């Protein structure tokens, strides 16, 4: 018998002999005790022991074709999952998990006036939706709805192309990373910004740009930061991608993907405090090999005279051992527009004969010839040939100290080798982004801190134990839908069946899959 039921019986027996005045007090006390007991029952899920290496698919739902399942957010109050869809227009699919593991679509929210929808987030019964404007280079919006009724609470104007939206853990703030990409002709390039919305102050908004860091441009570039868009100011060139907020809701960390950096923001004061350039990964070092060719008739990681910009997409904040860290999914991304395209294959470039004496051999298709690199960097002396080669993406997960920005660990060689050993590596992507590390979320399962890493080009999630961040340990690989985009972790106390839950939405085939570990 539940403790709440016992209390109910006791109070029922007492109520029979009470007068009306005492009855009200008894009911009040019963409500308080029942609420407290429910809280205890919720917290009891933390005592569930789970096998961290046994995540497997429990449920799935097909929401349509390509782009019909991108980013998702879960509301524990209503047991609804909200999924971004851009198939046939901007919309959010509402999935009912109240009868989990049976899941079903219950509603569709349409936004026909918007050029696209990018992200969703949930907190305290509120759903935040990030929408492009009718003109993608114009201001976007964050729309807030009640998860219970789906009625609109507020619509807030933010910067151009809000690519990701999130709540602070305390629910007091909504933050959006406004990417501000140029149009295809590269004739309109809006500023990249970050908007901070104060929920408690009637959704007042402060939108921050990066113009104040232009004076630091030289030192940032020296650290591997990238500012290179044609005719762009410093603020226009910045392209915020993804946001993670600290556990105390005071700081936010924003990936600046094309720029190869991470910005730190003071959420409460509404200021950008610093930019951390990420430098490069040296592929000539033993710990950093790449498979660089899709035409060499083999799959093999090897070292090459090459460097790689990390260019992170998703970011996740976590604490372990009393310290704070951020995990970066180093997908890689380029500016490949009709008006400006930085991409080039190595075989198309003129290489400096002194730096690359074996250039002819190096540029064969079976070697570096077909590898995609950036032509915006590498001609150090400006003489028209390339003294260095820079790949576009770290093909790895990086763990950084959140306070200092120092690199603590980089999961790259081990990650790709496990995919190769599993027979899942897509050799056709060797000349581009490899496994393409797209998403990451870090969470605690059974007392261990786990990183769930989305691998877009091999349709898998890799799980690593990062309880000791400097020494990550491989745990598991499991298959997802086609091109996993969103990786969401739901704590046992919030999940529909009181168990750890990983939700993966895949934009390639429109499926949302639900994964859970075995009990121990």
**Residue 38, pLDDT above cutoff 90:** no
Rounded Cα–Cα distance for residues 51 and 471 (Å): 20
**Residue 114, pLDDT above cutoff 80:** yes
Rounded Cα–Cα distance for residues 122 and 120 (Å): 7
Over residues 189-210, the mean pLDDT reads 98
pLDDT tens digits, one per residue of 169-193: 999 999 999 999 999 999 999 999 9
Q: Which pLDDT score is estimated for 23?
A: 41
pLDDT tens digits, one per residue of 452-500: 999 999 999 999 999 999 999 999 999 999 999 999 999 999 999 999 9
CA separation, residue 29 to residues 7, 202, 447 (Å): 10, 34, 35
Buried b (16+ CB within 10 A) or exposed e, 382-413: eeebbebbbbbbbbbbbbbebeebeebbbbbb
Over residues 393-400, the mean pLDDT reads 98
Asked if residue 66 lies in contact with residue 87, where contact means CB atoms within 8 angstroms, the answer is: yes
Rounded Cα–Cα distance for residues 202 and 144 (Å): 12
132 Ramachandran zone, left/alpha/beta (phi>0; psi -120 to 50) = beta
* Per-residue pLDDT band at 3 (split at 50, 70, 90): very low
Rounded Cα–Cα distance for residues 119 and 180 (Å): 15
DSSP state of 211: G
CA separation, residue 263 to residues 160, 372, 394 (Å): 18, 27, 18
Rounded Cα–Cα distance for residues 263 and 257 (Å): 11
Among 177, 168, 187, 326, which residue's Cα sits nearest to residue 258? 177
- Of the chain, the percentage scoring pLDDT greater than 90 comes to 91
* Euclidean distance between the first and the last CA atom of the chain, given in angstroms as a whole number: 24
Q: Which pLDDT score is estimated for 112?
A: 94
Rounded Cα–Cα distance for residues 146 and 125 (Å): 6
Q: Which pLDDT score is estimated for 223?
A: 98
Buried b (16+ CB within 10 A) or exposed e, 454-466: bbbbbbbbbbbbb
Name the pTM for this structure: 0.92
Higher per-residue pLDDT: 325 or 13: 325
Higher per-residue pLDDT: 12 or 228: 228
**Residue 401, pLDDT above cutoff 60:** yes
Cα angle vertex 179, ends 177, 181, to 5°?
Answer: 175
Rounded Cα–Cα distance for residues 132 and 90 (Å): 9
Over residues 202-206, the mean pLDDT reads 98
Rounded Cα–Cα distance for residues 194 and 244 (Å): 12
Rounded Cα–Cα distance for residues 207 and 176 (Å): 9
Q: Which pLDDT score is estimated for 12?
A: 43
CA separation, residue 108 to residues 70, 105, 266, 337, 508 (Å): 15, 8, 36, 33, 20
User: Average pLDDT over the chain, rounded to whole?
Assistant: 93
Contacts of residue 79, defined as CB under 8 A and 6 or more positions apart, other chains included, come to 96, 97, 98, 100, 496
Q: Identify the three-state secondary structure at position 428.
A: helix
| H or E stretch at 221 | helix 217-222
CA separation, residue 196 to residues 143, 167, 202, 461 (Å): 14, 10, 13, 31
Residue ranges of the domains in the chain? Answer: 3-45, 48-333+393-516
* Per-residue pLDDT band at 26 (split at 50, 70, 90): very low
Which phi and psi (to 5°) does residue 382 adopt? 70, 25
**Residue 46, pLDDT above cutoff 70:** no
Q: Which pLDDT score is estimated for 267?
A: 98
**Residue 110, pLDDT above cutoff 90:** yes
* Backbone CA torsion sign across 305, 459, 429, 393: negative
Two structure tokens written together for 79: 């047991």
- Of the chain, the percentage scoring pLDDT greater than 70 comes to 91
Two structure tokens written together for 344: 């080039």
Asked if residue 491 lies in contact with residue 47, where contact means CB atoms within 8 angstroms, the answer is: no
Q: Which pLDDT score is estimated for 270?
A: 98
CB-CB neighbours of 53 under 10 Å:
13
Q: Identify the three-state secondary structure at position 7.
A: helix
**Residue 33, pLDDT above cutoff 90:** no
Contacts of residue 363, defined as CB under 8 A and 6 or more positions apart, other chains included, come to 346, 347, 351, 369
Asked if residue 338 lies in contact with residue 329, where contact means CB atoms within 8 angstroms, the answer is: no
Over residues 387-416, the mean pLDDT reads 98
**Burial (CB count <10 Å: 0-12, 13-18, 19+), residue 354:** exposed
Among 353, 340, 346, which residue's Cα sits nearest to residue 283? 346
Over residues 113-126, the mean pLDDT reads 96
Which phi and psi (to 5°) does residue 446 adopt? 55, 40
CB-CB neighbours of 494 under 10 Å:
16
**Residue 7, pLDDT above cutoff 60:** no
Within 274-324, residue ranges assigned H as helices are none
Q: Which pLDDT score is estimated for 260?
A: 98
Rounded Cα–Cα distance for residues 250 and 183 (Å): 34
Residue with tokens 């227009």: 89
Pick the CATH number of 48-333+393-516 from 3.90.1570.10, 3.50.50.60, 3.40.50.720, 2.130.10.10: 2.130.10.10
Q: Identify the three-state secondary structure at position 507.
A: coil
**Residue 36, pLDDT above cutoff 50:** no
């Amino acid at each position: 018998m539940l403790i709440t039921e016992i209390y109910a019986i006791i109070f029922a027996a007492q109520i029979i002999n009470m007068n009306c005045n005492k009855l009200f007090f008894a009911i009040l006390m019963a409500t308080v005790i029942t609420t407290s007991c429910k809280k205890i029952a919720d917290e009891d899920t933390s005592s569930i022991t789970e096998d961290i290496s046994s995540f497997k698919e429990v449920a799935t739902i097909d929401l349509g074709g390509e782009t019909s399942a991108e980013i998702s957010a879960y509301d524990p109050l209503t047991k609804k999952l909200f999924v971004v869809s851009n198939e046939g227009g901007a919309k959010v699919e509402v999935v009912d998990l109240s009868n989990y593991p049976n899941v079903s679509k219950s509603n569709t929210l349409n936004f026909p006036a918007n050029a696209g929808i990018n992200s969703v987030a949930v907190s305290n019964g509120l759903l935040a939706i990030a929408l492009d404007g009718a003109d993608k280079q114009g201001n976007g919006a964050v729309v807030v709805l009640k998860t219970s009724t789906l009625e609109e609470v507020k619509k807030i104007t933010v910067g151009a192309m809000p690519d990701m939206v999130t709540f602070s853990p305390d629910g007091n703030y909504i933050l959006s990373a406004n990417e501000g990409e140029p149009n295809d002709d590269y004739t309109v390039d809006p500023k990249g910004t970050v908007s901070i919305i104060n929920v408690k102050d009637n959704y007042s908004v402060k939108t921050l740009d990066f113009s104040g860091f232009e004076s630091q441009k030289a030192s940032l570039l020296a650290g591997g930061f990238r500012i290179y868009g044609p005719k762009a100011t410093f603020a226009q060139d910045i392209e915020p991608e993804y946001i993670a907020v600290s556990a105390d809701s005071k700081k936010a960390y924003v990936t600046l993907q094309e720029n190869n950096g991470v910005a730190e923001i003071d959420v409460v004061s509404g200021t950008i405090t610093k930019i951390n350039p990420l430098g490069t990964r040296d592929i000539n070092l033993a710990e950093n090999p790449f498979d660089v060719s899709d035409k060499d008739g083999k799959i093999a990681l090897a070292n090459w005279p090459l460097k790689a910009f990390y260019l992170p997409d998703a970011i996740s904040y976590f604490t372990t051992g009393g310290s704070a860290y951020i995990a970066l999914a180093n997908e890689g991304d380029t500016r490949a527009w009709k008006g400006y395209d930085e991409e080039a294959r190595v075989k198309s470039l003129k290489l400096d004969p002194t730096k690359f004496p074996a250039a002819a051999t190096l540029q064969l298709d079976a070697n570096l010839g077909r590898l995609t690199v950036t032509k915006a960097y590498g001609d150090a002396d400006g003489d028209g040939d390339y003294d260095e080669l820079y790949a576009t993406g770290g093909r790895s997960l990086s763990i950084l100290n959140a306070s200092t920005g120092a690199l603590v660990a980089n999961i790259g060689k081990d990650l790709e080798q496990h995919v190769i050993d599993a027979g899942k590596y897509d050799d056709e992507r060797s000349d581009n982004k490899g496994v393409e590390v797209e998403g990451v979320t870090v969470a605690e399962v059974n007392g261990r801190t786990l990183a769930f890493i989305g691998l877009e080009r091999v349709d898998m999630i890799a799980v690593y134990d990062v309880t000791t961040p400097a020494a990550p340990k491989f745990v598991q690989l499991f298959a997802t839908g086609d091109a996993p985009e969103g990786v969401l972790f739901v704590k046992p106390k919030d999940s529909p069946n009181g168990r750890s839950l990983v939700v993966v939405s895949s934009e390639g085939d429109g499926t949302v899959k639900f994964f859970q570990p075995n009990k121990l």
